[in-house]
Structure 1
Amino acid sequence: MLLNEKTAILTLKVLLVPYSEHHVPTYHEWMQDEALQKATASEPLTLSEEYAMQRSWRLDHDKLTFIVCTAPTLRPQVVTPTEHDAPDRMLGDVNLFLCEADDDEDDDAEESLKEEDAVKERSIIGEIEIMIARKELQGSGYGKAVLLAFLAYIVSNIPAIVGEYSKGHGTEGGKGTGSGLDLRYLRVKIDGENARSIRLFESVGFKKVSETVNYFGELELRWDLQGQNVLEIEGLKGVEMECLVYGPS
Structure 2
Amino acid sequence: MKDPRLREATASEPLTLEEEYDMQRSWAEDEDKCIFILLDRRKEGLEGMCGDVNLYLNDVEDHARAEIEIMVAEPGSRRRGIAREALLIMMLYGMEELGMRRFVAKIGESNEPSLMLFHQLHFTEVARSTVFKEVTLEVHVKNLQKELLELKRGLEYSEYQTK
Normalising by structure 2, we get a TM-score of 0.81
Report what 1:45 is aligned to: 15
Is the partner of 1:140 in helix, strand or coil? coil
Is the partner of 1:187 in helix, strand or coil? strand
Identity within the alignment, %: 35
Q: Is the helix fraction higher in 1 or 2?
A: 2
8 Å CA contact 2:57–2:63 kept in 1: the answer is no
Matches within 5 A, 1:95-174: 95-101=54-60, 120=61, 123=63, 125-159=65-99
Q: What's the C-alpha RMSD, in Å, of the aligned pairs?
A: 2.8
Structure 2: gaps (5+ residues): none
8 Å CA contact 1:68–1:91 kept in 2: the answer is yes
Matches within 5 A, 1:219-238: 219-225=135-141, 227=142, 232-235=146-149
Point out the structure with max Rg over C-alpha: 1
Q: Deviation digits for residues 96-142 of structure 1, max 9, x if unmatched?
A: 112134xxxxxxxxxxxxxxxxxx4x635311111101112222222
Normalising by structure 1, we get a TM-score of 0.55
Q: Deviation digits for residues 177-212 of structure 1, max 9, x if unmatched?
A: xxxxxx4521001122222211211112211115x5
In structure 2, give the amino acid aligned to 1:193. Answer: S
Structure 1: gaps (5+ residues): 1-30, 74-83, 102-119, 160-182, 245-249
Please give the alpha-carbon distance, in whole angstroms, between the structure 2 residues aligned to 1:37 and 1:47.
15
Please give the alpha-carbon distance, in whole angstroms, between the structure 2 residues aligned to 1:62 and 1:238.
25
Equivalenced residues, count:
158
The Cα of 1:48 is off from its aligned counterpart by 1.6
Please give the alpha-carbon distance, in whole angstroms, between the structure 1 residues aligned to 2:22 and 2:33.
14
RCO (CA 8 Å, sep 6+): is it higher in 1 or 2? 1
